[in-house]
A = this chain, B = another copy of it.
Amino acid sequence: MKFETITIKDIAKALGLSTSTVSRALRGGYEISDETKRIVLEYAEKINYRPNPIALSLKERRSYSIGVVVCEIANNFFSQAINGIESIAYGAGYHVIITQSNESYEREISNVQHLASRSVDGLLISLSSESADNSYIKNLHDKGLPIVFFDRVAKEIETHKVIANNFKGSFEATEYLIKLGHTKIAHFTNPEHLSITSERLDGYRTALNKYNIPFDERYVKYCQHGGMIQEELDNAVGELLNLEERPLAIFAAQDKLSTGCLMAFKNHDPEFASKIKIAGFTNSGVVDLFSPPITAVRQPAFEMGQVATQLLIKLIESKYPVTEFETRMLDTELIIKH
């Protein structure tokens, strides 16, 4: 069943004008008499005319929509970032089409291709944890599709990027644990190839270093599924608990990892769980309710979404190919919970 609709033609016919005159009146064109313009506008208003955005897109060869690729919208960081994205996009007249990769590389490719096949004017991407080869994105970018990365960025693609100060955030969180007296601090993180992984690992190592605490590779748990699969965390926690030197503190590099590893500890050994101190990246709004408490490294998700979108729209609306790109780094915030 079809959704009935009013076109410019209907107005033209009703008013005994040509479609081009109506079009000009509607766009507020200059080359038209005030009288005609008034009549057209009034009538259009009366019958509640809405231009067909699809026809406009075809004509202008752009869709006034931007595509977003994140791993999971149920993740607090991303849902907050999306709010930031929408706040800017909406104001600038753009639709936002959100897709999720669920940390699957295959799904990510499919989403990007779908979006790119000319239905969006630009792309906002945070890579999935499975994504190792980003050449397909590079292809698109080379062809001229505006792309801005945020959070999980691709090193090898030269474009605007928006990230949190992952090094500093990780350093501060680790230092906080150290100052509490901890020396046996494990680290839960994403797969190695992600940008955020090395940056956060770096902050962790540097803090250990500063306080002369040896770095122990066995304390670092790379989670291939980024915490999407609880079993992975349960296994990692099991391994830690089997070490002769059990860690007594954890620094987790991501939302799902922070909460997921706390759950894993609770599952394995509830009593031990209450003794362990966890600090981790999370943008959860209910972190106050957790027990044992989690000290949170909070990313400015909303602002990151905003900045990324501003950069993208600048790219889209630029008349000339852009060759100068910038990387914006925003500070995290350490929220201490006892």
A contacts, CB < 8 Å to B: 1-5, 50-55, 57-58, 61, 63, 73-74, 76, 79-80, 82-83, 86, 95-100, 113-114, 117-119, 121, 143-146, 259, 262-263, 266, 284-286, 288-291, 315-316, 318-322
Closest to A294 in B: B289
Q: How far is the CB of A302 from chain B (nearest CB, A)?
A: 11
CB neighbours of A319 from chain B (8 A): 1
CB neighbours of A1 from chain B (8 A): 144, 146, 315-316, 318-322
Question: By CB atoms of chain B within 10 A, which of A73, A80, A114 has the most?
Answer: A73
Q: Show 23 residue pairs from A and B whose CB-CB distance is below 8 angstroms, ordered by the A residue.
A: A1-B315, A1-B320, A3-B145, A4-B143, A50-B117, A51-B117, A52-B117, A52-B118, A54-B57, A54-B58, A54-B118, A55-B58, A58-B58, A74-B76, A86-B100, A95-B114, A96-B99, A259-B286, A263-B286, A263-B289, A289-B290, A290-B291, A291-B291
Interchain CB contact under 8 A, B288 and A286: no
- State the 7 A-B residue pairs at the shortest beta-carbon distance, nearest first: A291-B291, A74-B79, A50-B117, A289-B290, A54-B57, A259-B286, A3-B144
Known: A285-B74, A289-B263. A97 touches B95 (CB 8 A): yes
In the bound assembly, the distance between CA atoms of A323 and B74 in angstroms comes to: 35
Q: How far is the CB of A85 from chain B (nearest CB, A)?
A: 11
CB neighbours of A320 from chain B (8 A): 1
For A289, give its contact among B118, B121, B291 (CB under 8 Å): B291
CB neighbours of A144 from chain B (8 A): 1-4
Closest to A57 in B: B54
CB neighbours of A145 from chain B (8 A): 3
Q: How far is the CB of A321 from chain B (nearest CB, A)?
A: 5
In the bound assembly, the distance between CA atoms of A51 and B52 in angstroms comes to: 20
Interchain CB contact under 8 A, B289 and A262: yes
Interchain CB contact under 8 A, B86 and A80: no
CB neighbours of A114 from chain B (8 A): 95
Q: How far is the CB of A229 from chain B (nearest CB, A)?
A: 13
CB neighbours of A52 from chain B (8 A): 58, 117-118
Interchain CB contact under 8 A, A118 and B2: no
